[in-house]
Chains A and B, each alone.
Chain A
């Protein structure tokens, strides 16, 4: 089992560019999440999904969109990247709102 995987691991964007981060899990989890981690801020929830075809806003959703077309995949999109979106992004999955299994992270820099 690979657990939770994230693609890509690193990315550098210019302001205004768009990109999609891919998260995949092979544990048959219903719940999936996208977090960002910034120094001194801990992990903040961007968006989450409680099942295929569903999405919901988390604590810091502005500037991001998500889609869950397949149960095992959760995509995070940035339509027009801004320097404030420079961060490390973590995807996670779980059976319920309890123990979450995290991916290795994607380090994004927006110039």
Chain B
């Protein structure tokens, strides 16, 4: 039972343009959401997070949007850079208990 879903396994964008990565979840009890970035042969690294009491969180070129009614979050990267090419995982937790990850989206930013 995959409670966190990333339906796009891959995404390709041109350098300088916007990258939008999407994530859907099924459990309305999730109250904290995170995005992780993973390069090959390395562990995931934390990128940005958002609490369920907010609908937007921004950190430099990265913005996460949360739509609780649609159970949907998205990560926007503007402008995209070749170094952003990686696999991006969204994750969700509830009540400081449990953490569920999506299957990941491979982003390729072309120069």
Contacts and interface: CB of A to CB of B under 8 A. Distances in A.
Report the interface size class on chain B: 20 to 34
Interface of A: 4, 33, 35, 40-45, 58-59, 90, 92, 96-105
Given A90-B43, A101-B46, A103-B43, A45 B96 contact: no
Contacts, number: 56
Interface of B: 2, 4, 6, 9, 32, 34, 36, 41-46, 49, 89, 91, 93, 96-104
Contact of B89 (A43, A92, A98): A43
Contacts of B9: 40
B99 A104 contact: no
Contacts of B6: 42
Contacts of A101: 46
